[in-house]
Amino acid sequence: MHANFQNCLAVTLGYEGGWSDHPSDPGGATMKGITLASYRRFKPGATKTELRNIANETVAKIYRADYWDKVGGDRLAVGVDLATFDAGVNSGPGRARQWLMTSIGGPDHDTVKLVCAKRLGFMRSLAIWDTFGNGWSKRVAGIEAKGVAWALAQSMGPIQVREQLAKEATTATATSNKQTAGASAAGTATTAGGSDALFNPDHVDQIAGWVLGGLLSAGVLVAVILIIRAIIHRQRASAYAIEAGRIMS
């Protein structure tokens, strides 16, 4: 829906933040999620300084042309548009469309969850997951919760939406607890940091680094996989609880 572009853009920009020039980010210098290469398509020869001072109107124009229009945002249901648009911003509109096309067929809120799950699965396959994974998974959880809330609101009243979001939070918490218990049974860490690092959600990036570095035994690797999944579901539970709390009866 055309009117929902600004709403989706506001959510996405809340995650993109401001200026970034992280050496591990393959996109290079960015401002509000816009790379220098993207900006130069609109303003040939633009410098990093000009990108850093980009006008809000230009930001909206670029996001509409490069992402919203390319994923067909105006034709998507509320909530589904947010999930697909934000995925396109992070991973490219082509991948976002593919994830959408393999997710449709059920209720819109289920489509949102499926798109977000496929998006997160792709992110976890990337070599830079150990650097950005924790932030990425938090973002996807937030997008999922808000997209589901928007989708449900098209056919339910506020009280029913809030109840459904609370149920999603409870389910995600139960899944996280089950996976944490499974990780505990599978074994504890025997590498630097010990079991405290393994079961501390703040150490998810360190855990991912251990995996990529081959520093874990086979038994502990099973535990690590489960605990990373548990952390992701814990983030989902938190995002759904936050979204439920924003809804007024």
pLDDT tens per residue, range 68-113? 999 999 999 999 999 999 999 999 999 999 999 999 999 999 999 9
Predicted structure pTM score: 0.82
The residue written with tokens 């690092």 in the block is 197
40: tokens are 């130069």
132 closest CA partner among 51, 208, 200: 208
pLDDT in tens, 7-43: 999 999 999 878 887 776 666 788 998 999 889 999 9
Residue ranges of domains in the chain: 1-155
Three-state DSSP at 205 gives helix
Question: What is the topology classification, in CATH, of domain 1-155?
Answer: Chitosanase, subunit A; domain 1 (1.20.141)
DSSP letter at 125 equals T
Residues with Cβ within 8 Å of 48's Cβ and at least 6 positions away in sequence, in order, are 21, 29, 36
